Amino acid sequence: MQNTDIRKRIKAIRRWNGIFRIVGLLSTFVGLVLLFALMADLFTDGFPRLSYKFFASFPSRFPEEAGILSAWVGSCLVLLVTACAAIPLGVAAGVYLEEYARKNWLTDLIEINIANLAGVPSIVYGLLALGLFVYFFRFGESVLTGGLTLALLILPMVIMATREAIRAIPNSIREASYAVGATKWQTVKWHIIPYSTGGILTGIIIGLSRAIGETAPIITVGALTFIAFLPEPPISSDFPFISFKWLLDPFTVMPIQMFNWVSRPQKGFQLNAAAAGIVLMGMTLLMNGIAIYIRYKFRKKIKW
Amino acid sequence: MKKNIFSKRYLKETFIEGGLLMAALFSVFITISIVIILAYESYGFFKAVPLKDFLTGTQWTPLFAEPRFGILPLVAGTLLTTLIALIVALPLGMLVAVYLSEYAPHKLREIIKPVLELLAAVPTVVYGYFALSFLTPILQKFLPDLSGFNALSPGIIMGIMIIPYVSSVSEDAMIAVPMHIREGSYAMGATKLQTAFKVVIPSAFSGIAAAFIIGISRAIGETMVVSIAAGGMPNLTINPLEAVQTLTAYIVQVSLGDVPHGTVEYKTIFAAGMTLFLMTLGFNLLGFWLRKRIREVY
Amino acid sequence: MNTTILTELKAEAKDLNFLYGQVHALKDINLPIERRKVTALIGPSGCGKTTFLRCFNRMHDLYPHNRYKGEIILYPDNVNIISPEIDPIEVRMQISMVFQKPNPFPKTIYENVAYGLRVRGTKKKQVIDERVEKSLRGAALWDEVKDRLHNLAFDLSGGQQQRLCIARALATDPRILLFDEPTSALDPIATSKIEELIIELKNEVTIIIVTHNMQQAARISDYTAFMYIGEIVEYDRTEKIFTAPSSKLTEDYITGRFG
């Protein structure tokens, strides 16, 4: 090949390289632009509806009167149940798989199973919950059912986050602990869990932020879309001061309230839907922000 | 110093290990419960409806006076919206992954990755609202035939929603390709583009395939976007401009209504769920196997 | 000519064999460990010296598919510490280990040293305070850290971290202290400090050290065992090994002809 030919060829490849650099950057921004458009759309439609009254009112037949009180209270209570169920179970399973499990068929089975569960559509969890919690255990269409359903849904995420955080701990730390005579549980309790807390917390919060936005499985278990009362308060003035009756109360959650409004034709309800969307996005972004902050904070604190 | 397996310490350790094992096994019980419940209710359904009618019927009208139980329209709706989503997500996700792993400066990558992941964190009901009230009206300006409910708009939104699933797994696979393999290519005078497409992508093939499969599985199972923006009419069509109903949207539609527990209509959602579960199960297992293979290669 | 006079033994390996799965890593090892002396294990990489060292505190029990055969007897108790009937955790409580790279926990200096006591369930603050000070003094680190006991251990230099790991191992009064190439990750000054420390420590505790540095073995040990491909080729007083080895293989190794 002639020298000039080579130069020509190099020039052409260079050009393609440069073009791709721009195409790549643009593709990366497609998603971001959409995210921005989505927020802008929500804000222009819904922002005027955001007021104290919107947060403090029950749903109503009149769009201007309607609010999200029962929805955000419901979301908080459901999330509480989800956290209480998914965190201990998920962390324990993650610790088992990383620190205790031997390499055998049972471990393989559990691993394949978790990978599959992570990919099961959320609505299938809803069907499971409908059969299991609503009709088999007879929890009814309650806060408890909703919370447990979402707990099953985010369990694989919590397990995987726990495992990943634990895997980052170097083996030398484990050996140092065993070398002075610590048992497995002492090593887990004093080293493994404390040093992986950052990663685990990040995973839990991201899981919970996903749970708060989930709609489909909650619809399947029969959460109501029109609830004009609050569940029983968990704290009462009479003995024994703590009540668990709210667990069995019917409920609604933020995304369901939004879905309900979206599916109504009147313009007023569409605006309410956008306003509920802003609140929902706010909750999700806040939780994701906290997760990113925690990850950053812990990464700075512990460097192996 | 003799080991005493009945000592307090050993009992405690064994007890704790047993408890943790139970927690790990719990996930297996979840899968078993899913299979049992879907199978049990579907069994009731198939006692009333022959499997042949279910698989080959072209009409799905379980709530009509004269019900028909052909699953094909729902499967077609699911596949159509999934296909549209993939047409958007796979090329974009790949480009993003190549750009982030091979081109982007480290700083930019650290900022963009978490922001991209927000795309997967946005509640799907919000995406549904966005597809219905923002994207569909815009698309109607270019495509006057587009009906208010259609497969195209939710398909596109779903595609963008699953970009981070596709891009982050592909990117992980590309970053895992050892530097010396790239250097071999650079040393021959190749550009980044040539290295990326001729060396890095083929080396990371299993991981990229796994990423695609995760994306497919997500799109098939996605519910709210299609429930809100694709319509509620089972429709055996390949025309993206028409309204369709997916398996997931059908389950939502029935759940919102007052179908009594135990009737055939009630059991249809489990038959639809079973179909959905089997479709995603296949993809999930394939994805798991592919990812496991990458881990073994490096 | 065997010049070892078995005055007082702390431990003894008898026909010790060790297998990683199918790999026969140690073959018929016989070795006495003298009380309050430093015994060095030398040999080319992969000869099994670290594997052998890790048998003494049952570290191999942490991983699957490892098998011991034969005995390591601990005196004066006369128990075989690698027997499956013996609790590895109790063995480790009495035979501590310092690793190749300093591996302090990401906790405070104080908590690092106190860890072994906490593992044993010691709760009294006063007792722990005393032991922490004593061990840090023992590890020649007290003067450098006494004002910042509650700082993170990661803030210390590499050499200080390694001395902290020694203090951590000393806190529980071990009967034998195992060192696995403790200076391989350190600079020469930090290395010489650790070497001085080891010489001092032998007044109180029996020491076994693995090293790939022959000068180090010559400087600090009383006895030296030369290992090659999973076997002990020669064991003797250190001066003897380095001046008049009886085996040709040992001589080739210490004169640098291979390794």
Lowest mean pLDDT among A225-229, B277-281, C75-79: A225-229
What range defines the domain where residue B18 resides? 8-48
The enclosing domain of B113 has a CATH number of 1.10.3720.10
C57 touches chain A (CB under 8 A): yes
Alpha carbon distance, N-terminus to C-terminus of chain A: 52
What's the rounded Cα separation, in Å, for the pair B142 and B145?
9
Decide if pLDDT at C67 tops 70. yes
Based on the structure, what is the number of domains in chain B? Answer: 2
Whether pLDDT at B233 is above 90 = no
Question: Which tops the pLDDT comparison, A34 or B2?
Answer: A34
- Tell me what pLDDT residue C77 has: 85
* Amino acid B235: pLDDT: 85
* Choices 3.40.50.2300, 3.30.70.520, 3.40.50.720, 3.40.50.300: CATH for C9-102+173-254: 3.40.50.300
Peptide bond into C76 cis (omega under 30): yes
Interface with chain A: mutation pick from B153, B188, B224, B254, highest number of A CBs within 10 Å: B224
Give the HSE-up count for residue A189: Cα atoms under 13 Å, Cβ half-sphere. Answer: 12
Q: Does B32 lie in the same domain as B176?
A: no
In angstroms, the CA C147 to CA C138 distance is: 17
Q: Are B245 and B231 in contact (CB under 8 A)?
A: yes
Q: Are residues A31 and A65 in the same domain?
A: no
Tokens of C258: 């291979």
Q: Domain check: are A23 and A168 in the same one? A: no
Report d(CA B242, CA B29) in Å as an integer: 41
- Sorted by where each begins, the domain ranges of chain C are 9-102+173-254
Tens-place pLDDT, residues B151-167: 999 999 999 999 999 99
Q: Reduce the DSSP state of residue C24 to 3 states and report it.
A: strand
Residues A140 and A35 in one domain: no
Q: What is the mean pLDDT of residues C105-123?
A: 91
Q: Which of C117, C119, C178 to mutate to test the interface with A (most CBs of A within 10 A)?
A: C119
Average pLDDT of chain C is 90
Domain shared by A88 and A188, yes or no = yes
Same domain, A74 and A43: no
Chain B interface, mutation test: which of A1, A23, A38, A266, most B Cβ atoms within 10 Å? A38
Residues of chain B with Cβ-Cβ distance to A100 below 8 Å are 17, 20-21
Residue B298 pLDDT exceeds 70:
no
Q: Are residues A25 and A79 in the same domain?
A: no
Confidence of residue A87 (pLDDT cuts 50, 70, 90): very high
Do B148 and B291 lie in one domain? The reply is yes
Q: What is the mean pLDDT of residues A40-60?
A: 89
**Percent of chain A whose predicted confidence (pLDDT) is above 90:** 56
- Report yes or no: B9 at the C interface, CB cutoff 8 Å: yes
Q: Are residues B40 and B76 in the same domain?
A: no
**A91/A144 same-domain check:** yes
Does some domain include residue B1?
A: no
The two tokens of residue A243 are 């009540």
Query: In this complex, which of B21, B31, B223 lies closest to A113 when CB atoms are compared?
Result: B31
Write the secondary structure of chain B as one string of H (helix), E (strand) and C (coil). Answer: CECCCCCHHHHHHHHHHHHHHHHHHHHHHHHHHHHHHHHHHHHHHHHHCCHHHHHHCCCECCCCCCCCECCHHHHHHHHHHHHHHHHHHHHHHHHHHHHHHHHCCHHHHHHHHHHHHHHHHCCHHHHHHHHHHHHHHHHHHHCCCCCCCCCHHHHHHHHHHCHHHHHHHHHHHHHCCCHHHHHHHHHCCCCHHHHHHHHHHHHCHHHHHHHHHHHHHHHHHCCHHHHHHCCCCCCCCCCCCCCCCCHHHHHHHHHHCCCCCCCHHHHHHHHHHHHHHHHHHHHHHHHHHHHHHHHHHC
ipTM for this model: 0.90
Do B119 and B224 lie in one domain? The reply is yes
Is B179 inside any structural domain? yes
Residues A139/B14, Cβ–Cβ less than 8 Å = no
Q: What is the pLDDT of residues B2-33, one digit of tens each?
A: 777 778 888 999 999 999 999 999 999 999 99
Bridge partners of C234, per DSSP, are C226
**Based on the domain organization, do A159 and A270 belong to the same domain?**
yes
Q: Edge-to-edge, what's the strand order for the sheet holding C66-74?
A: C23-34, C9-20, C66-74, C79-80
pLDDT at A179 (0 to 100): 92
Nearest CA in chain A to B30: A152
Give the SS3 label for residue C235. strand
> Partners for A (CB, 8 Å, 3+ pairs)?
B, C
Given a contact cutoff of 8 angstroms between Cβ atoms, the answer to whether B220 and A121 are in contact is yes
- Give chain A positions within 8 Å (CB) of C89: 181-183
Does residue B177 belong to any structural domain of this protein? yes
Neighbours of A86 (CB within 10 A): 26
Among A102, A174, A181, beta carbon nearest to C89: A181
Is pLDDT of C155 > 60?
A: yes
Same domain, B128 and B23: no
What's the angle, vertex CA B76, arms to CA B71 and CA B77, rounded to 5?
105
For residue range A163-186, list pLDDT tens digits in order: 999 999 999 999 999 998 899 999
What pLDDT is recorded for position B197? Answer: 86
SS (H, E, C) chain A: CCHHHHHHHHHHHHHHHHHHHHHHHHHHHHHHHHHHHHHHHHHHHHHHHCCHHHHHCCCCCCCCCCCCHHHHHHHHHHHHHHHHHHHHHHHHHHHHHHHHCCCCHHHHHHHHHHHHHHHCCHHHHHHHHHHHHHHHCCCCCCHHHHHHHHHHHHHHHHHHHHHHHHHCCCHHHHHHHHHCCCCHHHHHHHHHHHHHHHHHHHHHHHHHHHHHHCCHHHHHCCCCCCCCCCCCCCECCCCCCECCHHHHCCCCCHHHHHHHHHCCCCHHHHHHHHHHHHHHHHHHHHHHHHHHHHHHHHHHHCCC
Question: Residues A14, A96: one domain?
Answer: no
CB-nearest partner of A180 from C64, C106, C119: C119
Q: Does the structure show a pLDDT above 50 at C123? A: yes
Q: Looking at the 3D structure of chain A, how many domains does it have? A: 2
Residue A104 in contact with partner chain C when CB distance is under 8 A: no
Beta strand extents in C35-104 (DSSP E only) = 38-42, 66-74, 79-80, 95-98
Tell me the nearest-neighbour CA distance from B14 into chain C, angstroms.
14
A79 CB neighbours in chain B (<8 A) are none
Say whether both B134 and B278 belong to one domain: yes
Name the residue range of residue A16's domain: 3-48
Cβ pair A112:B288 closer than 8 A? yes
Interchain pair A122, B221: CB under 8 A: yes
Q: What is the mean pLDDT of residues C197-213?
A: 92
Q: Which of residues 203-232 of A touch C (CB under 8 A)?
A: none
Which strands sit side by side in the sheet containing C231-237, from one edge to the other?
A: C95-98, C176-180, C206-210, C38-42, C223-228, C231-237
B218 against A236, higher pLDDT: B218
Give domain status of residue B292, yes or no: yes
Separate counts of helices (H) and strands (E) for chain C: 10, 10
Answer yes or no: is pLDDT of C189 > 60: yes
Tell me the mean pLDDT in the region A285-289.
Answer: 92
**pLDDT tens-place string over residues C75-88:** 888 899 999 888 88
Query: What is the pLDDT at residue B118?
Result: 87
Band the pLDDT of A1: cuts 50, 70, 90.
Answer: low
Chain A residues closer than 8 Å to B191 by CB = 13-14, 16-17
**Min distance C207 CA to chain A CA atoms (Å):** 15
**Is residue B134 located within the same domain as residue B223?**
yes
C2: pLDDT confidence band, cut at 50, 70 and 90? very low
pLDDT for residue C3 is more than 50: no
What is the average per-residue pLDDT within B191-209? 87
